[in-house]
Amino acid sequence: MSNLPSEPEFEQAYKELASTLENSSLFEQHPEYKKALAIAAIPERIIQFRVVWEDDKGQVQVNRGYRVQYNSALGPYKGGLRFHPTVNLSVLKFLGFEQIFKNALTGLNMGGGKGGADFDPKGKSDNEIRKFCVAFMSELGKHIGANTDVPAGDIGVSPREIGWMFGQYKKQTKLWEGVLTGKGGSWGGSFIRPEATGYGTVYYVEEMMKWASGGSDSFAGKKVAISGSGNVAQYAAYKVIELGGTVVSLSDSKGALIATSATGITPEMVEIVAKLKVERKYLADVAETADFGSTTKYVAGARPWLQVGDVDVALPCATQNEVSGEEAEGLVRAKCKFLAEGSNMGCTQEAIDVFEAHRRENGKDAIWYAPGKAANCGGVAVSGLEMAQNSSRIKWSTEEVDAKLKDIMKNCFENGLQTAKTYVTPKEGELPSLVAGSNIAGFTKVAEAMKDQG
């Protein structure tokens, strides 16, 4: 019996990676990597601290703050900060563990980490959120730096919160450096950073489509189901529409918004949803309005996967474990051809098993699944580009950053694809396993660096 407490989210992420490594020829060819996996599974450092702040009534409040500095073999720790009541050590270890290999797949020099607090921004005033950010950074600032650990935003942490934390870090250290990414555009932020995760996921699926069709397929005319309604979902929707696809759903923790007309979810609707989320409200608050009522339906308590009918592409863009085994089977029945995670660990292991079994049994007609560590690495990739711009005291144009993002997503896809062919040889006519290829490609890069550094 283990003496460690149960950490279900982390254990799921670890088993998902370990199982693909064990079911490949990797350990036969490189037996030393077994020990590297055991070492990489343990964070280099975990920082836990209390965050004491004062609400608008003058009452003292306290939350738990964390930073998991997981692996620095490839560069400074890099990964977001999440402010959400569900934050605990298991969630942050899962996110940090995934982040190591996601960052490796970008090709940039970044290690992996994750952090945050069990603070809930919903229902708090701007002043209360600012006070919390200052208190949080007063402790976290002792442990980070531009060449040590570079956090970014995640759920509950927008450029506004990044600004408040950056200001506190600067007061404490007297340093103006690229210690946080996702900064404002006028003071060190990068173009395309807010859009990067959503755009990058769509660019990745474009590469999947091209490869599966021999170069002839695209988003034009495709029906695309998207979950979530935050930053990732919004920009994925915008890019899908720009490329000629039809977005048929968005969702949040209360329910799903399903398109009932051929036009689908329009850019104007996405813009309304974006404003709604800034106000920390729910889709239910606009579902019956004139902008939505005649062309969408709202399904309370549901995710979109079993509500949308036949679709070509599914993009989970909300949170972890948002596609169950039953929903995966529903997407197979709905003739979905491509599923890529815009969220981290968006699919349960049962769902992944459904997708992978269908891939093995149905040749080019199968659903093709791409894991989040590959498909959604665009966000942290542009964070890495922001770090490079900060180090050089320069700012690249939107077009330059977007071109670099496209190249990174293309290289990430091809790396996973070729690695899968090497270590998990597909049968004749079978689509390669992107989950196995991406896991192995990210892991081997980190393991080699760890080995070289002793």
Enzyme catalytic residues: 114
Dump strand ranges (E) for 17-90. Answer: 45-54, 60-71, 77-83
**Is 364 labelled as part of a ligand binding site?**
no
Closest-CA residue to 204 (of 429, 372, 380):
372
78 annotated binding-site participant: yes
| Contact assessment for residue 347 and residue 355, using Cβ atoms and an 8 Å cutoff | yes
Centroid of chain to Cα 364: 27
Contacts of 139 (CB under 8 A, 6+ apart): 49, 50, 51, 65
Give CA–CA dist 9/94, Å, rounded. 6
Nearest Cα to Cα of residue 373 among 331, 418, 413, 313: 413
**Which 3 state secondary structure label does DSSP give 437?**
helix
What span, in angstroms and rounded, lies between the C-alpha atoms of 325 and 59? 45
Closest of 47, 149, 51, 62 to residue 93, by C-alpha:
47
For 256, which DSSP code?
E
Q: Indicate the residue type of 227.
A: S
The SS3 assignment for 51 reads: strand
- Does 153 show up as a binding residue in the annotation? yes
CB 187 within 8 A of CB 275: no
Tokens at residue 322, please? Answer: 């948002």
End-to-end CA distance of the chain: 31
- 102 carries a ligand binding annotation: yes
Q: Does 197 carry a binding-site annotation?
A: yes
Q: Distance between CA atoms of 333 and 335, rounded to whole angstroms? A: 5
**69 close to 142: Cβ distance less than 8 angstroms:** no
Q: Is 29 annotated as a binding residue?
A: no
Cα-based distances in Å from 336 to 114, 155, 305, 309, 353: 32, 28, 10, 10, 16
Do 136 and 169 contact (CB within 8 A), yes or no? no
Give the span between the Cα atoms of 219 and 406, in whole angstroms: 15
Cα(89)–Cα(242) distance, integer angstroms: 39
Pairing of strands 246-252, 255-259: antiparallel
Query: Does 231 count as an annotated binding residue?
Result: yes
Compute the distance between CA of residue 56 and CA of residue 420 in angstroms, rounded to an integer: 54
Annotated binding residues, written as ranges, equal 78, 99, 102, 153, 197, 231, 383
Annotated binding residues for substrate, written as ranges, equal 78, 99, 102, 153, 383
Annotated binding residues for NAD(+), written as ranges, equal 197, 231
